[in-house]
A = this chain, B = another copy of it.
Amino acid sequence: MYFSVMKSTPLIAHFETYLPFEEVEISLIESRISRRKLKRREHLLVNGDICRHYTFVVKGVLRLYGIDPSGKEHNILFAAENDWIYDITSFHEAKPGESNIQAIEPSEVIQIAQQDLYHLYVNIPKLDRVFKVITEEKYVELQNRVFQNISSTAQQRYTYFYEKYPNLATRLPNTQIASYLGITPEFLSMIRKEMVQGKTKK
């Protein structure tokens, strides 16, 4: 029992940043989750799969990406420690999706399968509130990203990314950040060099 609590602590601690949970609720949550380790470059989800889990990142960084008709990969979002990653369209409609989820670093995740999440929603109604807020937070991220995409130069987009996610900006390979910003790695290197030299205004 002690070990079981220890094992899922990061997820419970995450939920408790939103609302307190009773011991019995924590036990129920723990009975419905699974833990998984991922090697670097290992995929959790591949284009055409049905996304059957909500995935919580305990350690590492994962990316959600799409592939365009020419075969080029485009990063939609990253998720590091204490963040969630899933293809929400595929998950809710339980049909094959167009997204891919891959570990960029060796990672540890906690997963909740669709039927378990629905079971938890029914038995612990306040999880509806918790996931409402989590989804709202992810929504804010995406809305800012849409606005950046349609209104900003590549330099401004990188500055925004750097200020918003300093940890990711210094931790991720250039190729991954460039794919997120929609530019080439070479152009990103140039922007970074100019920022260091103080030529790019923030």
A-to-B contact residues, CB < 8 Å: 66, 68, 72, 74-77, 88-89, 92, 98, 121, 125-126, 128-129, 131-132, 135-136, 138-140, 142-147, 149-152, 180, 182
Across-interface contacts of A88 in B (CB, < 8 A): 136, 139-140, 143
Q: How many copies does the complex hold?
A: 2
The interface centre, meaning the residue of A125, A136, A182 with most chain B CB atoms within 10 A of its CB, is: A136
What's the nearest-Cβ distance from chain B to residue A121, in Å? 7
For the complex, give the distance between the alpha carbons of A126 and B129 in Å: 9
Across-interface contacts of A140 in B (CB, < 8 A): 88-89, 92
* Contact call B143/A74, Cβ cutoff below 8 A: no
What's the nearest-Cβ distance from chain B to residue A122, in Å? 10
* Contact call A76/B146, Cβ cutoff below 8 A: yes
* Contact call B132/A74, Cβ cutoff below 8 A: no
* Contact call A147/B74, Cβ cutoff below 8 A: yes
